[in-house]
Amino acid sequence: MGRVLDGATIAAAIKEEVAADVRQLAQQGVRPGLAAVLVGNVAASEIYVRSKVQTCADLGLFSELITPPESVTTEDMLDLVCALNSRDDIDGILIQLPLPSQVDTKALLDAVAPAKDVDGFHPVNAGRLQAGRPALAPCTPAGIIEILKRSGIAMAGANAVIVGRSDIVGKPAAMLLLHRNATVTICHSKTRDLGAVTREADILVAAIGRPGFITADMVKPGATIIDVGINRITERSEFDRYFAGDAKREATFAKRGSTIVGDVHPQAFAVAGAYTPVPGGVGPLTIAMLMANTVRAARMRRGL
């Protein structure tokens, strides 16, 4: 079994650095601020957003939770974003997805000022990232880079294969790895003989959103696996497929009626030289990098 890359420990270290940065900014009269917009009453989103707000409080950032009703219109949301764009006490704007069907999500995300786009979704930030210019990078890909860097995984010269081409993870992760001199291949549903490509990877990033999709025979021995997937399974047959004989998982499944599996089959980790577990790998980095992006946005907006 390969070395476990502990995302929770790395996230905690980043949060400590953010807190120190916040204290330093306070001496200059600056307190970074994050506005979190949560529409409606989706339980999972509520838990996630409130954890972000709590993390802001823990690290000394200002935060404001805004909760428009489920019936909100695109026009109402655009007015809200416009108001947040103009507020000097708000450095980052987070719009929790998904939004209700009547809201034009693309128009809304494009309306966020690029300087306050701490999710890194705006086309301007995507363009800056591609060009290698200072930009707010999406939190999950930025977290992947921090895991690799802080775990001593060499990126320069490595063959990096990314399975998944989303605008949120796959494409920006490819750009970030490319800027660190990795040789990058992006794979997707139309890739021919996917296993032949993934077996060439020194760094394999799985971000395709399909449980246990990457199997042991698709992994180069000694490779580093970054598993971005978070898939909840509730069927006993699925559990046995991934975790048969895992007593700890068995206890969790019996208690909750579900468990989490990534995009990588757990048996593949035995082939890897290092890997991120699910949960406890990439996930914790997302909030940590959101906090780091908010502080970075505060500095960039003020030319600090």
Is 264 in the same domain as 152? yes
- Quick: pLDDT tens for 151-169: 999 999 999 999 999 999 9
Band (196; pLDDT cuts 50, 70, 90): very high
Which of 51, 78, 113 marks a domain boundary? 113
Average pLDDT of the chain?
A: 95
- Quick: pLDDT tens for 64-83: 999 999 999 999 999 999 99
* The residue to which tokens 């999710």 are assigned: 119
What is the tally of structural domains in the chain?
2
The catalytic position among 15, 21, 52, 91 is 52
Share of the chain above pLDDT 70, in %: 100
Band (15; pLDDT cuts 50, 70, 90): very high
Q: How far apart are CA 171 and CA 182, in angstroms?
A: 14
H-helix or E-strand spanning residue 160: strand 159-163
Is 156 in the same domain as 205? yes
Would you call 217 a catalytic residue per the annotation? no
- Residue 12 belongs to a domain: no
Least confident range of 22-31, 105-114, 252-261: 252-261
Q: Which residues form the domain of 240?
A: 139-285
Would you call 96 a catalytic residue per the annotation? yes
Is 168 in the same domain as 33? no
- Residue 18 belongs to a domain: no
Share of the chain above pLDDT 90, in %: 90
Q: Are 218 and 268 in contact (CB under 8 A)?
A: yes
Rg, the chain, Cα only? 20
Question: For residue 65, what is the domain's CATH number?
Answer: 3.40.50.10860
Question: For residue 204, what is the domain's CATH number?
Answer: 3.40.50.720
Is 213 in the same domain as 85? no
Q: What is the dihedral of CA 129, 134, 139, 145, to 10 degrees?
A: 80
pLDDT given at position 178: 97
- Residue 19 belongs to a domain: no
**β-strand pairing of 33-37 with 92-95:** parallel
Which of 113, 131, 166 marks a domain boundary? 113
The catalytic position among 21, 91, 117, 119 is 119
Is 162 in the same domain as 105? no
Would you call 263 a catalytic residue per the annotation? no
pLDDT given at position 186: 98
- Residue 20 belongs to a domain: no
- Residue 176 belongs to a domain: yes
The catalytic position among 15, 21, 91, 96 is 96
pLDDT given at position 293: 98
Is 69 in the same domain as 154? no
- Quick: pLDDT tens for 230-277: 999 999 999 999 998 888 889 989 999 999 999 999 999 999 999 999
